[in-house]
Chains A and B, each alone.
Chain A
């Protein structure tokens, strides 16, 4: 899902080898990416990579992709190792943030030499992680600061809305409230904190603001450039596990660029932790399970080797059991299946021989669909053109334009457009809409649709039922009730069903030329000449005669 741009040369610098574009196409599969696009800009080749996995933010930048490929190529194996040093930086977290944005985790990365490519990867990664993994910053927001401009200790605290600082991209101080109203990012993400009594603020020992999470950094410290050597990383959110994972993704990506990771002590009102925590995670798997479900004849040793190429460390515990350790920048392993997929990716999907399962099964279609097909064939035999229209429609189309009072209908709460804001409860309005679109086309126009009408039914699990119906409309000068009835009558005779037509009144039809269609005394549809008011509503200038019936009562 997440798509990101990388320079081919940057990837190759990180991997330490050069490849053709075709080779890259296959290589990125190891990182669960697809090469979506290739283009040239300023003499450099760029790739658009589409990462398939929404739970693997570690694979959403050049650093992560290159890392996985280095392992897959055998240039490294087992767990990636990162040296983490202590620092004396401390961050104090305010207890008033508990219901505002409770968790913040931090790290320092020193000794960076970021060029343009590295910098753009860092910014892109930060954005993608916050957008997708962080659910548009709600669950994860990331700030990166020029550490040389920050004076620890640092305070993550609840601030009055009237406090001020200069947000990134501005030259004037603004109150926190003003930022939410006026700043582009404030307007975009303001809803995440707007109704809280205080707003989160990250400040240093001299009272300089680093950022207002999850909205915006300060102009003073929040601008990272190619000149920046040392950075301070802040990740905030609601779930400690998620924010720690995001922090690990960011700092290990920076470490791939030569940065030195340093730990920060975070002091909460009731506990303290040191972040980042890059201790590998563990999971126990069964070799037999992997062999069985993969369908590949792999020895324990082979599975171990394949996993080492996917950055696992494997400790064989017994004939069938292994303890696997995986890097702290991953948090997606819930089940042996997740490990199994990595075995298959390392093996290469396209190196596996597909095998069609031999199953003694007999196919069968829904017999009602066959019945519908027979009805459709008959309608085509009458010279009618079949149409297929949308179930989504509007109350205007279903009721107003059909000259009938509004009824109960299935309605969408968040439609893209009011035109598509309800599910149709009858088909004729769709056919009228169709005819209305084709008034310039040669008449007569004879059309039908076999489709669904969705009705309210409180007794069902979904409180609705979608009933198959047939609707027929004939448009052209000279058509009368008789023409519609001829088709209905022929249909009924072909089904061997006795029916009756009973006079009724319906706003969509001309009085005296409309009837309820009855089978076994039950109403199953309506037939008549469309009312001129309805024709006028649809800008149709020829008579239209029509009928619509439920199909289930005719299926015997």
Chain B
């Protein structure tokens, strides 16, 4: 696609067939750079050829240019003579400099323009017949040519006047230059013959061009569509949160009901005791669990529920012999940032559930860890349960397998015996992810009857939790877990889309 400049250059070139760049400047009125750019495009299209030639050229000196304006000294002297016919040499000082005055008599006499007479007052010059009607001399002709263009070839000038004469008179100098010559090709000539429409070229389409309809008369300057552009950043959702949103939608599709929650803080009662975790359990040690300094303690739920939990711990419920220790209500009142989302399952079970029912929550939980590339101080847990009459261990494995396929995109699953204080039997799920290989993807189990009975539920309840951090890190292309909660704006701005 030829632009305005290309077309213009081609048309002009077609007129002369062959031209130096400088000539094209005159012909097109374009800048030399624009012509070169146009010629390069034309050459790429095979419409013109550019060749280079080394050449000796003649160019006016500063003195030469001055003489073009003022006339050569002999011409200026002759003009005085033409009007006064006879002058004393001294009288020429008005139009000549001292330097010019010295050789002037010789030049004028050589041209046969004056007669010279010696008098006591000095030399007196009288114009001759030839002087009255001088012929155009070679030097004048050469200077005229040189004055019309920037320079001329030595070859051309030497046909008119010996180069040495110009050099001797210091009006011109000789140089060697590289000359670019453009020549139209046959293909170019053909194209011009077919007709080229030359329209005004514009850079932007303005409202005025549209309104006036003038857009029909212009041509749009082609853009370099490959040129790099400035980076811009859109508003975007946080990528990890998008990932979690996606899992949330998936779980709802899979028939799960979202558990609602109103605080990040939990009593130990709901975090541990309601989950049948004995009060001396290692996970409840000061080093493994946060405690609050303020507020320090919360309230226990209704007495009946608390009594059942106490009984489950101390003597056992539902055919269990219990942990066999003295359960402290005081201990259960301590507050802590919620350490696992299972606490919310316990709350939901106590609040009442639909049977059959499938529940989930995506919740921020807290563990006393040091923040580094593999540990977070708080993170999101995806957790829930399925409650129904006649649920079996095979169902538990079935639910886990479904998670692995639907959420992790796994092809194969493997189950391992596991242990949680609140489930028995317990399972750990490993999923075979096509790119990550075997990944620990979750844990599950059937809530212990000591727990569900205490919370007032009489059907088997399958508890599950899925670990999505490695999967999220893979999807987000990161190997530092801190980027899940990135404080790095550049990273967020550049983060790839996930959906």
Contacts and interface: CB of A to CB of B under 8 A. Distances in A.
Interface of A: 1, 29, 32, 34, 52-55, 132, 135, 139, 241, 292-296, 334-338, 340-341, 344-345, 349-350, 352-357, 359-366, 368-369, 373, 376, 379-392, 408-417, 420, 423, 433-434, 437-438, 441-442, 445-447, 452, 454, 456, 458, 460-466
A132 B357 CA distance: 37
Contacts, number: 282
A316 B419 CA distance: 28
Contact of B400 (A353, A354, A364): A354
Contacts of B258: 364-366, 369
A334 B240 CA distance: 42
Given A335-B316, A357-B388, A391 B267 contact: no
Given A341-B425, A414-B290, A466-B264, A383 B235 contact: yes
Contacts of A296: 393-394
Interchain residue pairs A-B with the least CB separation, the first 9? A295-B392, A295-B394, A354-B397, A341-B425, A349-B415, A356-B398, A413-B293, A438-B489, A335-B320
B366 A392 contact: yes
B264 A423 contact: yes
A458 B285 CA distance: 27
B426 interface: yes
Contact of B424 (A292, A341, A382, A410): A341
B27 to A, nearest CB: 47
A383 B234 CA distance: 6
Interface string B296-327: 11110100000000000000101111111000
A357 B391 contact: yes
A337 B419 contact: no
Nearest to B492: A385
Contact of A462 (B266, B394, B460): B266
B418 interface: yes
B105 interface: no
Interface residues of B, number: 107
Contact of B425 (A340, A387, A438): A340
A386 B245 CA distance: 14
Nearest to B414: A350
Contacts of A29: 416-417
Majority DSSP secondary structure for residues of A touching B? loop
B203 interface: no
A420 B294 CA distance: 14
B447 to A, nearest CB: 10
Contact of B370 (A34, A52, A416, A452): A416
Contacts of A382: 235
A50 B398 CA distance: 25
Contact of A414 (B251, B286, B294, B490): B286
A44 B421 CA distance: 36
A409 B292 CA distance: 11
Given A361-B357, A363-B358, A412-B292, A462 B425 contact: no
Contacts of A458: 295
B398 A381 contact: no
Contacts of A411: 292-294
10 contacts: A293-B392, A349-B415, A349-B416, A349-B427, A354-B397, A365-B252, A366-B259, A381-B235, A410-B292, A462-B267
Interface string B441-452: 000001011100
Nearest to B427: A349
Given A52-B417, A416-B377, 5 more contacts: A1-B282, A54-B419, A296-B393, A335-B319, A463-B298
Contact of B428 (A52, A340, A409, A441): A52
Contacts of A465: 262-263
Contacts of A447: 489
Contacts of B402: 356
B386 interface: yes
B222 interface: no
B69 interface: no
B489 A352 contact: no
A284 B364 CA distance: 42
Contact of B395 (A241, A295, A360, A456): A295
